[in-house]
A and B are shown apart, each in its own frame.
Chain A
Amino acid sequence: MTFRFQYQDVIRRPNPMVTINPLARGSNKVVDLQDRVDTLSKSSAWNKQMKMWQALGKKVDLSRMPKVGMFELGKIEIDEDIQRVLDDKHCADKIANLRVFDPALLQTVQCILTSNGKLISIDGQHTSSTIAGLIAAGMVEGVKDWRTFKFPVQYIETDNLAFARRAFSILNGKGKKKQSAYQQLRNAVFIVRIDNDISDDEDVQLEKLVSIAEKNECFPIEAFSNLSKYPGTFSNIATFKSCNDEEVELATSWHNKYFHYESMHVSTFFIFRDICRAFKSAKLPITDKLKEELAGLVQCLFGDLGQYQESVTRAHRLWTTKRYGYQANWDDDAYACALLQLYKHFGGEERVAPNIIDRFDDIIDFFDEDILSLAA
């Protein structure tokens, strides 16, 4: 049986992302707070919220605003029913890490100050413990006793421990807008590209991965961004970061060569990461012929990897139900496995690493008949 899914070229058009890629350079734009106030005043969500405030006659109670003061570390108490158990590794490897420690990056400790003068920590115990530990270890010149060392504390005057508990949840995630994976990636890239700072190996490596992707006209973007309509964009940053240089090169160059007219589906990284690792173990080359025939198979049977994902997740669901009697959770390993099984099923002659296709044996029997009959 001859492999019959020949890849057909698609006209290449200039990719707008090459010029509008937000990671290529910073915006060099600095705005004052008025800009943000203007944004809020035009926001329907904001105006809806303000209408509710007006309807209920609610006003900001300034007496409840937090205060900031310098307090001796020895006065801080940690209520173990509110704060977590101290993570010593977090103190040692993250905050006090030799490569990154900078006192300028320490954050204020958050406390409540009760009417009887107790200062109870609700957030920042790792910071206060680390600085106290550094003093105790003799790492702060001129300071002998951490107990009398004054540290900035942001506090709220209250005797309400329920408030403290709620505040701890809010300060540690619930109610706080976290930095997205893309924003973290952008920071790392800008530290290297704009600030020319190569002191952090992780930032340098991330910038390198982004550069490899950009060379192949693939661009990380924020999830749900307006840019997602442009070719080569992808937003699953975690999977991208899990790949090494070679895997990113393979995935993005394949996408750019064959599917340059599409945004980049996350399965591309899973597929080529798994192929790269398995073929390396099996000491098999990933030939140009294999890459082209896989592209032909995806193009002819599915149109793109997005549609392939729909089909393979359905097949996986049916396969697990038949095999185990229940619907097991999706497994990302099925992307590469099923694709290579389809390749062999339709007569692909290039050698493939057997440990990939053995994983979900005969999963392709559960693909839609409509798809399997296309080989006929």
Chain B
Amino acid sequence: MYYLYLIQSPKGRAGFGIAKNPQSRNRDYVAHCGDIVNFPYLYGGTIAHIKKIENVIKEQYIDNIWHIEDRPLEWLNNNISVDQLKDYVDTLIEERHYRVKLIAKNYNFTQDVFNDLLT
């Protein structure tokens, strides 16, 4: 199982990423931020399909990827909300038949019983 998470910065910027261990990844964000950061939406699925969705997001949002100087980040420009991004991911999964499911909402590492979060 591999994971795609959608994230929202404390100021509201939408972002995304993939991880084998979402709990550890969330802990990293929290350590950098100095505050609890939720993954508003956490998807799980096969590694190939999760990676594919991440690549499609990067490709389709190429004009809306937030850059620091010339470096593209896995964050989007302010005009895209995390719910818009979620709608896009859901449409992709449905239309292209990816084996990926939304498994948790508002996940953060303190919710250590991972199975309880399964929706």
Contacts and interface: CB of A to CB of B under 8 A. Distances in A.
Interface of A: 8, 10-11, 226, 228-229, 261, 263, 299-304, 306-308, 310-311, 368, 370-371, 374
A307 B48 contact: yes
25 contacts: A8-B97, A10-B95, A11-B95, A226-B62, A229-B59, A261-B95, A261-B96, A299-B96, A300-B99, A301-B48, A302-B49, A302-B52, A303-B48, A303-B49, A303-B96, A306-B52, A307-B49, A308-B48, A310-B51, A311-B48, A368-B47, A370-B2, A370-B48, A374-B46, A374-B99
B interface, over-half SS: helix
B98 interface: yes
Interface of B: 1-2, 46-49, 51-53, 55, 59-60, 62, 95-99
B62 A303 contact: no
Nearest to B2: A370
Contacts of A299: 96-97
Contacts of A306: 52, 55
B101 to A, nearest CB: 15
A371 B48 CA distance: 8
A374 B98 CA distance: 13
Contact of A229 (B2, B51, B62, B97): B62
Contacts of A300: 97, 99
Contacts of A8: 97
A300 B71 CA distance: 33
A81 to B, nearest CB: 42
A71 to B, nearest CB: 48
A302 to B, nearest CB: 4
A20 to B, nearest CB: 16
